[in-house]
Structure 1
Amino acid sequence: MRRFTLNPLSLALFTTLTTTAGGAFAEEKTELLETVSVLGSSEHTEKLPGSAHLVSAGELEKFEFVDINRMLRTVPGVYLREEDGYGLRPNIGIRGADGGRSGKISLMEDGVLIAPAPYAAPSAYYFPTAGRLNQIEVLKGPATLKYGPFTVGGAVNMLSTPIPGVSEGSVQLETGQYGENRLHAYYGDSTETTGWLLETHQQQADGFRDIDRGGSADIAKEDYLVKGRLKSVADATYAQQLDIKLQYSEEESGMSYLGLTDADFASDPNRRYGISALDEMQNRHSGLQLNHSIALSDSFSLNTQAYYNKFKRDWFKVGLGDLIDDANSGDATAQAVLDGEADYDFGIKHNNRKYESRGVQVSADWQLATGDIEHDLEIGLRRHWDEVDRFQPTEEYSQIDGALLFQEVRDPSASNNRVEEADANSFFVYDQIQLAEQLALTATLRYEDVDTTQQRYNSIDRSEEGSSRSNSLSEWLPGLGLVYEVNSEWALLAGVHRGFAPPGAGSDSGVGAELSTNYEWGARYNRGDLRAEVIAFYSDYENTVQNCSIAVPCPDEAESGSYQLGESEIRGLEASLGTQWQLAGGWFVPLAASYTWTEAEITRDSDGGDLLAGDNFAYLPENVFALTAGLDSGAAWRVNLTAAFQDEMCVDNRCNRGAGDRFDHTESLWVVDAAAHYDFSADLTGYLKVDNLLDEQAIINRAPDGARANRPRTASVGVRFIF
């Protein structure tokens, strides 16, 4: 694999510009120009009729995480299924919505859709580099109707580093076990009318999985970001701001879908079979985003965002799930093949795909009053198009005496030689209405209109067309939410909204969207030094749709298209608590906890009889818990500790029907992470972090091919210099 040099000067190859994180519900003219944030600040979440969580820059800095799974696991209502130990391709679910490849959430960066093809192929095989993120916003409930298209669960908006208000820069260097090295550097400046930022994040590791006869599964990822800004002078009649952002990243990683048999996992969870030694992901992502905002008055602003994203990947990987199943069942020949002791012929497919997405979204924010009733009215339109182009040949190999010998290239079948497109128009009206001093009503209406096509080709040059599919659907999605402030500390909330998720471009004509009616109710408590929230949620799905992929095959074993699970119900409870104790001598003890309980089941037999009423949801834990505590001297040093628990999960929809076996479940797991910081000066900070402090490993994933473990204990040291 090609290695790269951590060189901050290579930033200069790229250029961008974006808005800083500002308030989406702001009241001052200057704040009305900020468009990339969906929450704005933690204070704004108090006014929302649903659960919302802001993972701030300060929270991210406590543990210096570079894995999005670790960054999000303290957020209630969020489920995470690890896969590679580094969070390169996360599986994020919200409130029971399927987490496979994060394909059922509205995934955004700086306020625009960031999944490679969110309508045509919603499985997010690209994910923004988590180590460069400045903040993360998670939104659930009726307010998600503003963002879409996925409103069954929620939205995750990731904010990149903002352009600094003054000349400012930072260089962070980190090194650790398993050959891990990281550089994160940025520099920027602003004047009254201009601003800019240059940034890079570069990461490499040898990996913690040892490949039989093949070394380790290494990682090399580099990311570049440039931002710029033009804005009007302070006393301009109409305050305006134009932002542009250019981003480029590339990755080479020795990642595989091939796991282990349970017996081999028990012996060494970090082993990988030599037959997967050639597995590797190569990808490149580039993106352009333009934001323009104008405040036409103190109460009316217009925001426009145009975006273009391109993603190319080739995941060269073997699929040998049947061998794992056979070996788990006691087949000695299958085990010998995995061990490299028996000869075997097999294919490695180039999962080669090109994605494009582009769109324009315009929103108007108008603050007005009708009599004594105040409105914060927002109206928005989005025009979006995306495409995925698959051309996936297979290379034939033979394993002979443990060595992998190339034989020939097999041309792709029609199913691996296809183009899928989606054309979508959406519209929303969002009105936050202050009915009385203590009572606020939020009314939302969204419309989605989606056309998808799939064209397969029978010839390599695509001169001969094969089968084709097309589908069209449109839905109106209403939502209502109430927030009642009982007093200065207590608030009650309730909401209901229509959940929606498009089925993807591989669906046949007439296949409907995933639709649900989502309810929530709860209470918030805020005493300044103590914050707490408890929210119950219930989702009634009239049509549950699973997008099929190699990573997450459908119940009928399909690896493309979609599968309708039918009617189902999800119920759950989210709770969070945050406080900080001040001790004698200026010491502080911050404390935060979150808990999610979820129960889900299919409530009606599927038409084909594959699924029955009472069947469970796959990869949905019943209990998720996280506790974070710290000790801050108030001066030079601070220590933080976080402990997270996740229940075992069923790996398919049928594992609760009867006896089953141990291969139907993952394992529950406690993971403890720790980090300590010391400020040598106001500009220089050093830190030591240990991920998985207790070195606990368990089977956290079995999809698609065998048992895989979470990351083992990994210690790293780093330094950050601010200038």
Structure 2
Amino acid sequence: MKPFPLSPLALALAAVVVSPAIAQERDARLETISVIGDADSIPKLPGSAHLIDAEELAKFEFVDINRMVRAVPGVYITEEDGYGLRPNIGIRGASGGRSGKISLMEDGVLVAPAPYSGPEAYYFPTAGRLDSIEVLKGPGTLKYGPFTVGGAVNMLSTPIPAATAGMVQLEAGQYGETRLHGHYGAVTDNTGWLLETHQQYADGFRDIDGGDSADIAKEDYLLKGRLSSAADATYRQQLDIKLQYSEEESGMSYLGLTDADFDRDPNRRYGISALDEMQNRHSAVQLNHSIQLSDAFTINSQAYYNKFKRDWFKVGLGGLIDAANAGDSDAQAILDGEMDYDFGIKHNNRQYEARGVQISADWQFQTGGLSHDMTFGVRRHRDEVDRYQPTEDYRQVSGDLVFQGISLPSASNNRVEEADATSFFAYDEIQLAEKLVLTAALRYEDVETQQKRYDDPDRTSGNITASNQVDEWLPGLGLVYDVSEAWSLLAGVHRGFAPPGGGAEEGQGPELSTNYEWGARYYSDSLSAEIIAFFSDYENAIQNCSVAVPCDNGADSGTFQLGEAEIKGLEAAFGSEWVLTNGWSLPLRASYTYTDAEITKDSDGGDLLAGDNLAYLPENVFALSAGLDSGAAWRLNLTAAYQDEMCVSTECNRGNTDQFDYTESLWVLDAVAHYDFSEDLSGYLKVDNLFDEQAIVNRGPDGARANRPRTATLGMKFAF
């Protein structure tokens, strides 16, 4: 890969660019992109909700989405590349593979490349440019969908500022890491705009045999514009447009290590994977329009188009890893480059398109003595995944990779999957009494999918090999009772749903569950706390099969029926800030998640047995962050995170397991110190994984892989 270049546009932005997020003074009813609103809205919600705002993100200067969300209770992550490029995020037991069981959104719009036909999120928004992140669970997820089994994650991009402002941020650190982030925006009474870029480069911390490194080059550009009516207009309106483009080249591979090699050097990579590389491009257009027809009625409309093209050129040699782990010396010699070997590198070449229109209305009204705050809406959505995946044949000769030829794709690697979905929701917050709010929600999903496979490379002939249709009504109820100004109790129940994917055959049902939660919240000026128990009763659990996370039957596409299952657990969160007499302050936050999950009924084929566990689901997850703020020029923040070992299949509860069936538990401590040279200029030193603790955090699909080693980075931020 070529050295990381800063494009002319990036250099131009670096010369001007913008400040930490400036709070916008917006009318809440003209806001269409937030799913929570603000922190003050959280105590009123019937389910668990968490907001990671711009101030919280700025404390640690993270560019990895895994590190950003790991402290949210009920959230689990499975690390993979150490940079969070393609994260695996699960919520409340919903499978985390490629974040394919949660509703991923950016600015209120579904952002997975093909959320219905291919929900695995091989594209993920550049985390380093995000302004805030919202995580929603419980009955409130029925407003968004289609995935309501676990929850929704909405990522908010940098807003158009309330006044002309700019910021430029530069970083440099170990492993050749450099980062540029800048944005600049301006407003008038009726217009606004924002221009932003985020550019990231790293040599990578994995050393490939033969002297190469797994480097990364990613650049992202964002342009926003706004037109709004006069404040005294009869009908206040606002029109926003967002244009986004990003591209990435990264030397990422699915090939991990044998356990013996991992113990010697967890950051090694075998030379047989030296050509592995991801190349992708993503572009998006989003239009938002809001019109306030009265003080009590607002209509919000959004139209969107997302396009994502990727070619992940990579080997699949998990069989060699397994054989070497079992003591096969020939397999080990091939991995070490000491034995000649014929193999293929597949172009995992896919093009995704997703487009849709969603319209919703906010309506406040009275019926008798009851107050209603209702939102209802409809969405029409279409997406598709087009695969054309030839394989290049190579021979390893004395450690060198020698090209042999190209094998054209088979029908399974030459196919198109499509989905056409219509959804509707109604969500009503009803003030039953001064201290009691009932939330009633209803969602409807109608999904049609089709798969077509082609018999020849030119696609002159092909057959529809799978088609399916599912439709479901998804109800939900939630209650919030204010015991006092600080204490509230909550309870909720809702129907969980996940579509079966574009390769589903006729009659294959969606994932369905009944989800319950109940708990208590405490909010005061200096202290917040909550504890929530959850229970999900799955009548039909489904695993999405992918190359990254193969199903237990070995499939790397389509879906695998897990059948009936139960997931239960407990979430707890605590936050406080002590302000000392000398102006210093001590912020403290902690979160904990306990999860117990199992299959509850034998499958018809006998592959799954009652009592089997669910794969890649930790029992205990804990996070703690603490700070020391001088109230003047400097501040220090520390965050520690723990995650239990995880079973990599559904059979660990049967016994007869060994070390290769589990990942390893891990504690990681990150630290960052900021110093303000002036009101506009600040610097910082951050150290990820301060104690350099590395463990096997992932074994899928091809061997053991480690988390990021200790990495120190210096940064500067100039705001104006």
Aligned to 1:707: 704
Match in the other structure for 2:497? 500
Residue 59 (1) aligns with residue 56 (2): yes
Deviation at residue 29 of structure 1 after TM alignment = 9.0
Name structure 2 gaps, 5 residues minimum: 14-20
Contact map agreement 1:166 1:190 (CA 8 A) in 2: yes
The residue type equivalent to 2:229 in the other structure is: S
Q: Which whole-Å CA distance do the structure 2 matches of 1:690 and 1:650 have between them?
A: 30
- Aligned position for 1:351: 348
Per-residue CA distance 1:395-440 (angstroms, 9 max, x = gap): 0000000000000000000000000000000000000011111000
Correspondence for 1:387: 384
Q: Which residue of 1 aligns with 2:5?
A: 5
> What is residue 17 of structure 1 aligned with on the other side?
none
Does the C-alpha gap of structure 1 residues 29 and 221 become closer, same or farther in structure 2, counting only changes over 3 Å?
closer
**Structure 1 gap segments, 5+ residues each:** 14-19
Q: Is the 8 A contact 1:22 1:35 kept in 2?
A: no
User: Any idea what SS the aligned residue of 2:433 has?
Assistant: coil
Could you say which residue in structure 2 is the equivalent of 1:585? Answer: 582
Once residues 683 and 84 of structure 1 are traced to their aligned partners in structure 2, the CA distance between those partners, rounded to angstroms, is: 35
Q: 1:470 aligns with which of 461, 467, 471?
A: 467
Q: By how many angstroms is 1:12 displaced? A: 7.8
Q: Which amino acid aligns with 1:55?
A: I
Q: Which structure 2 residues correspond to residues 55-134 of structure 1 after superposition, within 5 A?
A: 55-134=52-131
- Other structure's SS at 1:621 match: coil
Task: Kindly report which structure 2 residues correspond to 1:132-211, keeping only aligned pairs within 5 A, or say none.
Answer: 132-211=129-208
Q: Give the equivalent residue in structure 2 for 1:566.
A: 563
Question: For each residue in 1:147-166, what CA deviation from the matched residue of structure 2 results, as whole angstroms up to 9, or x when unmatched?
Answer: 00000000000000000011
* Structure 1 residue aligned with 2:398: 401
Of 481, 485, 491, 2:482 maps to 485
Q: What secondary structure is seen at the aligned counterpart in 2 of 1:537?
A: strand
Indicate the residue corresponding to 1:538 in structure 2: 535
Give the counterpart of 1:626 among 604, 620, 623.
623
Is 1:449 equivalent to 2:451 in the alignment? no
Report the AA paired with residue 186 of structure 1. Answer: H
The alpha-carbon deviation at position 466 of structure 1 amounts to 3.8
CA distance in 2, matches of 1:443, 1:162: 31
Residue 422 of structure 1: SS of its match in structure 2? strand
For the residues of structure 2 that align with 1:616 and 1:317, how far apart are their CA atoms?
Answer: 30
SS at match of 2:294: coil
- Letter paired with 2:154: N
| Distance in structure 2 (CA, Å) of the matches to 1:327 and 1:214 | 23
Matched, 1:677 2:674: yes
Say whether the 8 Å CA contact 1:172–1:719 is kept in structure 2.
yes
Report the Cα distance in structure 2 between the residues aligned to 1:377 and 1:683, rounded to whole angstroms: 43
Deviations 1:180-224 (A, max 9, x none): 000000000111100000000000000000000141100000000
Deviation at 1:370, TM superposition (A): 1.1
After superposition, the C-alpha distances for 1:518-567 in whole angstroms (9 at most, x for unaligned) are 00000001122000000000000000011111111111100111110000
Contact 2:23 2:162 in 1 (8 A): no
CA distance in structure 2 between the aligned counterparts of 1:398 and 1:41, rounded to whole angstroms: 57
Rounded to whole Å, the distance in 2 between the matches of 1:606 and 1:508 is 18
Q: State TM-score, norm by structure 1.
A: 0.98
Q: Distance in 1 between matches of 2:556 and 2:225?
A: 42
Normalising to structure 2: TM-score of the pair?
0.98
- Does structure 2 conserve the Cα–Cα contact (< 8 Å) formed by 1:80 and 1:93? yes
Aligned match of 1:413: 410
Matched residue, 1:366: 363
Mapped contact 2:521–2:529 kept (Cα < 8 A): yes
Amino acid at match of 2:406: V
Output one character per residue of 1:421-480: Cα deviation in whole Å (capped at 9) or x when no partner.
Answer: 000000000000111110000000000000000000001110111452100000000000
1: distance between equivalents of 2:9 and 2:206?
A: 32
SS in 2 for 1:693: coil
Q: Is the 8 A contact 1:11 1:199 kept in 2?
A: no
2:693 matched residue in structure 1? 696
- 3-state SS in 2 of match to 1:584: coil
Of 408, 419, 423, 2:420 maps to 423
User: 1:339 maps to what in 2?
Assistant: 336
Q: Which residue of 2 aligns with 1:641?
A: 638
1:77 Cα deviation after fit: 0.2
1:664 to 661, 665, 673: 661
Between the aligned partners of 1:377 and 1:582, the Cα distance in structure 2 is: 40
State the distance in 2 between where 1:379 and 1:477 align.
14
State the match for 2:18 in structure 1: none
- Of residues 298, 307, 332, the one that matches 1:310 is 307
1:512 maps to 2:509 = yes
Residues 1:21 and 1:61: Cα distance change in structure 2 (over 3 Å):
closer
Q: Is the 8 A contact 1:452 1:504 kept in 2?
A: yes
The CA distance in 2 between the partners of 1:213 and 1:554, in whole Å, is 33
Aligned counterpart for 1:247 among listed residues 244, 256, 262? 244
CA contact (8 A) 1:116 1:357 kept: yes
Task: Name the counterpart of 1:435.
Answer: 432
What CA RMSD, in Å, does the superposition of the two structures yield over aligned residues?
A: 1.3
CA distance in 2, matches of 1:10, 1:680: 25
CA distance in 2, matches of 1:466, 1:394: 22
Match of 1:16 in 2: none
**What is the CA distance between 1:22 and its match in structure 2?**
9.5
